[in-house]
Amino acid sequence: MASGATAGRKVILLQPRGFCAGVVRAIDAVRIALDLYGSPIYVRKEIVHNRHVVDQLKEAGAVFVEELEEVPEGARVIFSAHGIAPAVREQASKRRLRVIDATCPLVTKVHLEAQRFATRGFTIVLIGHRDHDEVIGTLGEAPACTFLVSTPADVDRLNPPDPRRIAYLTQTTLSLDETRDIVARLKERFPEIQGPPAQDICYATENRQLAVKAAAPLCDVLLVVGSQNSSNSKRLVEVSKNFGVPAYLVDDSSQVDPAWIAEAATVAVTAGASAPENLVEDLIAFLKARGFDRMEEMHLKEEDVRFTLPHQLEPVAGRLTSITTQ
């Protein structure tokens, strides 16, 4: 694209963007629990990886902790959308904590796959990023027989006890292209390797990456609304850069460096799966004030995925509000 133009500058707003069904479910779980039981409601780890969401829930009365030792015995605690290891569940039981499990159903799917492969005596290769909450939880399902890889080079260092009984699973928020390369290398080294019945990378991660790929030839810069610890948001930046388009991850419009967009004629905007829409709206207003007075929406596909509340809250499902979509 030609850059340097300052007249008639344009914003391309990508769709789908923002909250996925798992994030909506998790945030609703916290808000409904606060409404039903009052403060404090304890939440282990960030309920979703977004600073603004966490701060809003803190103001509403949620108390975020890193580990269950910080939760008073017998108190009510919510597990985050990223999932937990079985050892955490056992610890909660010993402390008589009243648990509301907000693990995303798509993460639970990966946990169940790990259990099944481990029961059948397979070595499990988990494709993911070390120290991410989701990966820590999945590794905990079968730690003795699960190995983490993040690159094709990691695959070359694997030495499973039986190369004929090996399976792979993936973190749900990875780059499609990066994961494809790792899986290809796994299949080269271990031709009999088995994978999940259906792709582990979640629909929202895939859709947002595909939207960025569609927009890349049409824009000079991509701005991604999301927090620095949001894996799926960081992957959107990587996808754009792989297409040669500069991209920046920002919590909100206050973090945008005007120099990033000074020479841009067209800026594309999207949001990670845990970023609220009001932050996107603020960013659009920020860009409009700087001469981006034309708006174009790019719709890749509609998302109609909905998840039920955690079963601990199912009796009050009728009280579910739309507050998390605001």
- Beta strands, E only, the chain: 10-15, 41-44, 62-65, 76-79, 98-101, 123-127, 146-149, 166-170, 221-225, 247-250, 266-271, 294-299
Tokens of 164: 């004929």
Q: How big is the chain, counted in residues?
A: 326
> How far are the Cα atoms of 132, 148, 167, 214, 321 from residue 195, in angstroms, in the given order?
21, 15, 5, 28, 38
**CA atoms of 72 and 96, how far apart (whole Å):** 10
Question: Distance between CA atoms of 153 and 281, rounded to whole angstroms?
Answer: 41
Q: Which of 113, 134, 281, 314 is catalytic?
A: 134
For residues 277 and 219, what is the distance between their CA atoms, to the nearest angstrom?
Answer: 21
134 is catalytic: yes
Q: Please, what is the end-to-end C-alpha distance for the chain in angstroms?
A: 34
Question: Cα-flanking dihedrals φ and ψ of residue 173, to 5°?
Answer: -115, 30
The closest of 228, 105, 117, 120 to 172, measured between CA atoms, is 105
Burial class from Cβ neighbours inside 10 Å (0-12, 13-18, 19+) for residue 53 reads: buried
Which residues have a catalytic role annotated?
A: 134
